[in-house]
Amino acid sequence: MEQIILVAHLLIALAIIGLIMLQQGKGADMGASFGAGASQTLFGSDGSGNVLTKATAWFVVLFFATSFSLALIVNKRSTVTDELDLAIPVAAEQKVEEEELPVLDSIPPESAAPAEGDVPKLD
């Protein structure tokens, strides 16, 4: 289903490009360059639009619909993973218990306290 919508999306995009390239600009009329009054109206001298502009509008609506449906399909298919897609080992999540920590018994008791010359006295 996704492939069908994607192909339709691309074909609609090409159709929009083709229809826009076929259309004539408002300033392309000879009367518009001499200041004709019809070129200054809201929709120009043609009225609200000819077949090409109406077809372009319908293709734009279809393009929006296919874009929205492709976004919904991708959103349903996506899953949450970590950035590198690596499994986190269980051992890394566990905390180290106190009995597993090493105990330092090699420090002599006299060197544990600071010497008299190391700490300045306040008088």
pLDDT in tens, 12-34: 999 999 999 988 776 665 555 56
Instruction: Look at residue 113 and tell me whether its pLDDT is greater than 80.
Output: no
Query: What domain range includes position 2?
Result: 1-24+51-77
CA distance 122 to 120: 7
- Residue 87 inside a domain? The answer is no
pLDDT band at 92 (very low <50, low <70, confident <90, very high): very low
- Residue 1 inside a domain? The answer is yes
- Residue 7 inside a domain? The answer is yes
Number of neighbours of residue 59 by Cβ within 10 angstroms: 20
- Residue 56 inside a domain? The answer is yes
| DSSP conformation class of 24 | P
pLDDT band at 2 (very low <50, low <70, confident <90, very high): confident
- Residue 67 inside a domain? The answer is yes
Please state the domain count of the chain: 1
CB 39 within 8 A of CB 30: no
What pLDDT is attached to residue 102? 63
- Residue 2 inside a domain? The answer is yes
- Residue 85 inside a domain? The answer is no
Number of neighbours of residue 20 by Cβ within 10 angstroms: 13
